[in-house]
Structure 1
Amino acid sequence: MAWDDYVYIALILANIPLGFIAKHINGYTNRLLYCGLVGFALALVAFQTRIWHSLFTVVGSYFIIKFCSVRYCHVVSLVFNFGYLAFFRMASYLGFDEVSTGTPNAVQLILSLKLISIAFDLRDAVLREADGKKDDDKPPSFPADAMNVGPLEFFGYSYCFLGLFTGPFFRYKTFHHYLNQPNLSKLPTAKKALQELTYVPFYVFVFIVLQKYFPVEYIATDEYLNHPGGVLYRVLYSYPCVMWFRWRFYIAWQLAVCGFTLAGFGAFPKDCDCRSGLGPSKMSQKYKNNVLTVDSQTGEFGEDDVDFTTVKQLRVWQIETITRIGGALPHWNMSVQFWMYHYVSQKFPIRQFRRFAVFVTGAYWHGLHMGYYLAFLMFFFVMLGQEGFVKVTGPLRRIPSKWIEYFWNVVDWSISWQGYLYNQASFRLLKVDDTLRVWASLYYYGHVLTILFIFLGLIFPSPRSKNKDDKKSE
């Protein structure tokens, strides 16, 4: 591994003891300063003299929400932060130090989501208040007592050490909630944190072994492309290659969530029905005045009184057992999926293109390399192709038999992972010529099957439309 990889691992691991300390710091200002200054110090380790990149976006975004009209500040913040990502990635071509890879890039990615979200949430809250709209059953998108975000709060939210390098993304209202909790030290977090680490040693072992024997760089070599094993070898080699890349994120995110849990960050009553990234979706009697309340008799929290779904990042079992290629998305990088849904899909003006807009935004957020766009757009069309396949095979799926159901689950699982395997060449290699060489060695089977089933799905009548036609003929 490169030196930057060791720094990245150290910064992630540091979140665990730092989170434990944060839980025992009392007082709004003390906790705010601790989260912000510790995070800035860690960012300084990652960026070193290049820290000005993140500072520029933080200061610029603060001035945007302070001096732009509330009706347009969200658009200005979006253009400013996503526009700066383009400059950030091209900095080395413009004579600046390289920052678009490794740990600095990870920080800038998370930072851009947070800075854009605070402008959107503030705008929504102000306009909702001006319109007199209020739903007592749902928590507000922005804390009523925090409309006037001060520079210290903005700095603390931006550089909060929790999730700074890996996510999960969290909204300003979640951060504000955390600062105002008087009973954090009483939260039973040790057991829940250990639960997050249960499978991490296994993930680490698999990751180390597979990365060593199945390096991704190999798929761009002539030896791989001309291997006597042919297409079958090239397809089978992709399985472990994609697996260790995926499990690397399992390790980072589980460690990050462990830090959040030990800090008590993202803890809400279970009956608040929390969602990753969003936080509480409804109010609770145990969450009065935005404060977690302890048991009136014991003065303590029950073991199962709170959960940390707000900062949950993944559901491993659901990812590994998907039967639709798009089925993994709600369980993978969950807080960022929320961001894409809430701030892109729900805000995009043309409903028919919302899903497409999410994929394009996701590709741009990852980077400027054409490989990202090939991967995300291909993923979008593979989803449509699988929908067409399910539609075409619909009559066979409706045969009333458990064995038939198991058979199609296995088929769908295989197709879903073939879609991921086929896409991994562009997502990992990033260069168009290398990607096309790999796809050509596979005879573009992913493209051929995708186009075929999209076409068949368009001409094959769906059961619903067929039933309508039958009723009309009667």
Structure 2
Amino acid sequence: MTPEEMTYLAVLLFSIPVGFAFNGRGPRTRQWGGAALGAGLTLVTCGPHALHSLVTSLVTWALVRLLPRRCGGAALAWTFGYLLFFRTLWVWGWPQPPPYANALQLLLTLKMVSLASDVQERWEAEPAGVTSSERDELIGSVPPRPGLGETLCYSYCYLGLLTGPFYRMGTHRDWVLGSAPPGSWRLVLRRLRWVPVWGLTGELAGRLFPGGLRDPRLWGWGFPRRLFAMGPAFLALRARFYVGWGCAEGACLAAGFGGNPPESHPRPGWGATRPCPRHKGPPPRPELWDFAAIRTCSPRDTERARGVGAGLRGWNRTVQWWLVRYVHARARGRGPALRNAWTMLVSAFWHGLHPGIYLSFLSVPLWLAAEGALGRLLGGVPKIRGVLWRIPPGIYTMRVFEYLSVGFILQDFEATLNYWGSIYFCLHLLPLFILGLDAVLKPGRGGGHPKTQGEGPKFKGEGPEIQGEGGNTPKFKGGTQKFKGSAPKFKGRPK
């Protein structure tokens, strides 16, 4: 474990017991105390580089105050433009910030775009028959013009500061103004029960294969061993993410953050999806609240996913929702493949400027399209579909993710292509073969494909859908979203 990872883990473990100190406290204590703690952690880890986050927050607040009806697009351009400047400080002769400042800037970018877009939507689509004061009492609501103090408190709240989860200002206000559920060690320990296992797994994978994909001996190995090398590398990577996200969710549970009544149907990142008054008076037991709003990742769903689309739905759910809501849904008038490619391009830019990241992320739409084509090809062959369905879940999905993670791990353009070339670009050629076969057989079907269930991998339950070929995206009317189809529901006790 590197010193950087030790710092992240120390911050997360410190945040868990601190969360219980906010139980039963008043709104001002939760709001300003949480922000003061977050500002202190920012100064300790980032030092003077914390000024970048402060500038980002202040300018976004000014845009929201001055341009409430157009602040969504303005904030998007401002935050991503500043993110580009932040990533190229060396060009201007400025010192390079530490990785903690980069993590803070990434999450702050999502928060500020979400804040500005929510304010703009409130101005554009005020619900009929609901007064402004009544709207402020609803779960997940944002004020028409957030104050400077409220914006800074949302920006620097210690929960999710460096590792996520992402959450909207409405979720933060619910914790501050509502009757937040009390923290529960039982819920925290239940969420953390697999963290030591994943931590040990990541350490073992890193120690047994210390060189990883950068091992110079790799080029002397045969094809099977080179193909196997990407497995331990991705295992060590995702195990570290599972540990960080699990601890971050544990800190939220300890503070009672992100809890909503089940009738509000909360979803990761989005928070409450149905209007519901904030609870007043003594809060019910923590077990009766739904904490889906801060559920970042489900390792079980990711590891057992059937398909790339399903795996993405279980991975970093709150950020996936942000991408769907503010990027994918706005790419109107384009086909599913182009919308998916645009979303992955924005996601790659958000993650960094390293060319290997773009190679990996822009390969995802290829697989999403191939999975949609495969569903059409097998639509009339139920026996083959049945055989494939009996394959243990996650077997093929994790192999694809291992292959796609190479660019994220190596980051260098030439190194990524050299490794993929050493295994003959096998998992680029396979989806291309599926798409080619689908195109060749298309005329034999009367000029069209039969409609099949699960025609394309879809991001469901977390906003508009990212689809494979052949799907439709729900449309926006009056600034509000209309969702059709089923969505995974989070009821009862958080898992």
Q: TM-score surpassing 0.5? A: yes
Distance 2:29 2:438 in 1: 59
Give the one of 294, 306, 309 matched to 2:289: 306
Residues 169 and 311, structure 1, Cα contact 8 Å, conserved in 2: yes
Equivalent position of 1:399 in the other structure:
383
- Given that 1:370 and 1:432 are in contact with CA atoms closer than 8 Å, whether structure 2 keeps it comes out as yes
1:392: Cα distance to partner?
A: 2.8
SS in 1 for 2:272: coil
What is the alpha-carbon distance in structure 2 between the residues aligned to residue 143 and residue 272 of structure 1?
13
Where in structure 2 are the equivalents of 1:232-271 lying within 5 Å?
232-271=224-263
CA spacing shift, 1:412–1:260, aligned 2, 3 Å: closer
Following the alignment from structure 1 to structure 2, what is the Cα–Cα distance between the partners of residues 309 and 142? Answer: 13
Match of 2:148 in 1: 151
Q: Contact 2:191/2:249 (CA < 8 Å) preserved in 1? A: yes
Superposition pairs for residues 360-379 of structure 1, below 5 Å?
360-379=345-364
Whole-Å Cα distance in 2 between the matches of residues 143 and 283 of structure 1? 9
Q: Is the 8 A contact 2:376 2:450 kept in 1?
A: no
Aligned amino acid, residue 88 of structure 1: F
Matched, 1:437 2:418: yes
The separation in 1 between residues aligned to 2:373 and 2:437, in whole angstroms, is: 6
| Equivalent AA in structure 1 for residue 156 of structure 2 | Y
Deviation at 1:276, TM superposition (A): 0.8
Corresponding letter in the other structure for 2:9: I
Which 10-residue stretch deviates more, 15-24 or 374-383?
15-24
1:41-80 per-position Cα deviation (integer Å, ceiling 9, x unaligned) = 101111112111111111111111112x223211111111
Shift of 1:326: 1.4
Counterpart amino acid of residue 197 in structure 1? L
Q: Which residue of 2 aligns with 1:11?
A: 11
Q: What is the match of residue 177 of structure 2? A: 180
Give the direction of change, closer, same or farther, for the CA distance of 1:150–1:451 in structure 2 (3 Å limit). Answer: same
Q: Tell me if the contact between 1:313 and 1:335 (Cα under 8 Å) persists in the aligned partners.
A: yes
Deviations 1:352-395 (A, max 9, x none): 23222211111110001111111011121122223333433444
TM-score by length of 1: 0.87
Give 1:272's aligned amino acid: S
Q: Is residue 2:294 matched to residue 1:317?
A: no
- For 1:45-124, what aligned pairs fall within 5 Å after superposition? 45-67=44-66, 69-99=67-97, 102-124=99-121
> Residue 316 of structure 1 contacts residue 331 of structure 1 at CA under 8 Å; is this kept in 2?
yes
Alignment deviations for residues 280-302 of structure 1 (CA, whole Å, 9 cap, x no partner): 11245xxx3x22554xxxxx624
Alpha carbons of 1:439 and 1:134: their partners in 2 closer, same or farther (altered >3 Å)? farther
Q: Which residue of 2 aligns with 1:358?
A: 343
Would you say the 8 A contact 1:128–1:134 is kept in 2?
no
Secondary structure of the corresponding residue to residue 421 of structure 1 = helix
Match runs of 1:131-210 below 5 Å = 132=128, 143=141, 146-181=143-178, 183-184=179-180, 187=182, 189-210=184-205
Q: 1:291 aligns with which of 256, 275, 279?
A: 279
CA gap 1:357/1:176 in 2 versus in 1, 3 angstroms: same
Determine helix, strand or coil for the equivalent of 1:170: coil
Question: Which protein is bigger by CA-based radius of gyration?
Answer: 1
Check conservation: 1:124, 1:141, Cα contact below 8 A.
no
Q: Which residue is equivalent to 2:477?
A: none
Structure 1 contact 167–256 (Cα < 8 Å) conserved: yes
Structure-2 residue corresponding to 1:297: none
How far, CA to CA, are the matches of 1:463 and 1:25 in structure 2?
A: 67
The structure with more helix, counted as a fraction of residues: 1
Counterpart-to-counterpart distance in 2, 1:379 and 1:79: 25
Alpha-carbon shift at residue 413 of structure 1 (Å): 4.0
Give 1:102 deviation, angstroms. 2.2
Give the percent of matched residue pairs that are identical in Structure 1 and Structure 2.
26
Amino acid at match of 2:125: R
Unpaired segments of 5 or more residues in structure 1? 295-299, 469-474
Code of the residue aligned with 2:262 in structure 1: it is K
Deviation (angstroms), 1:115: 0.7
1:218 corresponding residue in structure 2? 212
Give, in angstroms, the shift of residue 11 of structure 1.
Answer: 1.4
Counterpart-to-counterpart distance in 2, 1:122 and 1:269: 24
1:464 & 1:201 partners in 2: Cα distance? 54
Question: Equivalent residue of 1:165, what SS?
Answer: coil
Give the deviation of 1:244 after TM superposition: 1.6
Contact kept in structure 1, 2:110 and 2:166, CA below 8 Å? yes
Aligned to 1:40: 39
